[in-house]
Amino acid sequence: RKAMDQERILRQYQELKQKLLEVDFICPGSVTRIFQECGKPNCRCHQGKKFRHGPYYLWTRKVHGKTVTRQLTEQQALQCKQWIGNNRKLRTIIKQMQKLSSRAAPWCR
């Protein structure tokens, strides 16, 4: 029984290694789309949400423990969102690999 468990764990681990090969570029953080009011008191943007300037795309992430935000173009934001999704996939796969590793070698916990 123990040998069958080890074989199953090894097979699952090999499948996860294959999934790693499918992960493309990665990027941490999040992308938000915002509309803003400007500082000009007579500007139309102060008349309501539908008149605000934008959309603006902001990429936010942590760098050395500090939050860093950068404005992106719409195209950059779309690409960044895709890479952030790839980063999540990568982290999920690694967590699954760690679980399997600890099942294969209980002393590794």
Tens digits of residue pLDDT in 9-60: 999 999 999 999 999 999 999 999 999 999 999 999 999 999 999 999 999 9
Evaluate if residue 108 carries a pLDDT over 80. Answer: no
Structure tokens at 9: 């764990």
Parallel, antiparallel or unpaired: strands 66-72 and 53-63: antiparallel
Helices (H), 1-109: 2-22, 74-104
Distance CA 16, CA 92 (A): 10
High-pLDDT (> 70) share of the chain, %: 97
